[in-house]
Amino acid sequence: MTGFMNIEYGGTGKWLELLKEVAPAVTRVAVLRDPANPYLIAQFGAMQAVGPSLRLEVIAVNMRDSGEIERSVKTFASYPNGGLVVVASGAAIRYRDLIVTLAAQHKLPAVYWERFFVVGGGLISYGADLIDNYRRAAGYVDRILKGEKPADLPVQAPTKLEMVINLKTAKALGLTIPPAVLARADEVIE
C-alpha cells in the first residue's frame, strides 16, 4: 500500500481533529480532492460524518486543474474561519506548490496527508510513513521471489504514521501550535 490514507485507521477524522487543535477558530473545512477517484468520494463522506462532532462544516473542492483549484480556494477563502484538508491524489501531487501557495496567500491553515507538503511550506501533515511502507513492500517482493503467490499475500494497512509541523508557517498564519500537538509530532520544521 502506498502513502494514501486509509479510512480504517482513522486518517480522515484525525485530519479534522488536528486542524481544529491547531486552528480552533476554524468552522469550515474545504477538502481538496480528485472527484474522479471513488475512494476519495467515500473518504470525503467519512469526513462529512465526523465534521459535525467537531463543529466543522466540511465542503468538497474538486481538483481537476489549476484553474479550478485557484477559483475554488479563492471563493472558499472569501468567507471567514476556513481551513483546508488536502487528501492523497495525483492531482494534489501535481499541484502541490500551487495548493501550498494558495493556502499561505489566503491565510488558510491546512492539513496534508504527506510530509513533502510541509517541507514545501505547508502547515501540518499526518499520514503513513512512506519509507516504512516501502520497507514493508520489499518484504512482499522477497516473499514473491521466494515463490509465494501475490494473490495469497494479505493486504496490509500502514502501521507507522507520522506527523510533521512547520512552525514558520504556523507563525505566518498567526497560529500557536499547542504544546500537546508539538509533543506528538515526529518532526518539527523551524
The pLDDT score that the predictor gives to residue 41 is 75
124-140 residue pLDDT tens: 999 876 665 566 667 77
Selection from 114, 188, 156 nearest residue 9 by Cα: 156
Residue with cell 512512506: 130
30: number of Cβ within 10 Å: 23
Section 84-107 average pLDDT: 94
pLDDT value at 4 more than 50? no
88 contacts 114 by C-beta, under 8 angstroms: yes
87 contacts 5 by C-beta, under 8 angstroms: yes
Integer distance in angstroms from the first to the last C-alpha of the chain?
Answer: 31
Q: How far is CA 35 from the centre of its chain?
A: 16
Burial of 150 (0-12, 13-18, 19+ CB in 10 A): exposed
The pLDDT score that the predictor gives to residue 141 is 77
Mean pLDDT (the chain) is 86
17-71 residue pLDDT tens: 999 999 999 999 999 998 888 777 778 888 999 999 999 999 999 888 999 999 9
Q: How far is CA 62 from the centre of its chain?
A: 15
The pLDDT score that the predictor gives to residue 132 is 58
**Where are the strands (E) in 6-135, listed by range?**
28-33, 57-62, 82-86, 110-112, 124-128
166-183 residue pLDDT tens: 999 999 999 999 999 999
pLDDT category, 5, cuts 50, 70, 90? very low
Instruction: Determine if residue 12 is left, alpha or beta; phi over 0 gives left, psi from -120 to 50 gives alpha, anything else beta.
Output: alpha
Local structure of 87: helix, strand or coil: coil
pLDDT: which is higher, 159 or 99: 99
The pLDDT score that the predictor gives to residue 157 is 67
The pLDDT score that the predictor gives to residue 150 is 79
Of 1-5, 24-28, 121-125, the least confident: 1-5
pLDDT category, 13, cuts 50, 70, 90? confident
pTM of the model: 0.81
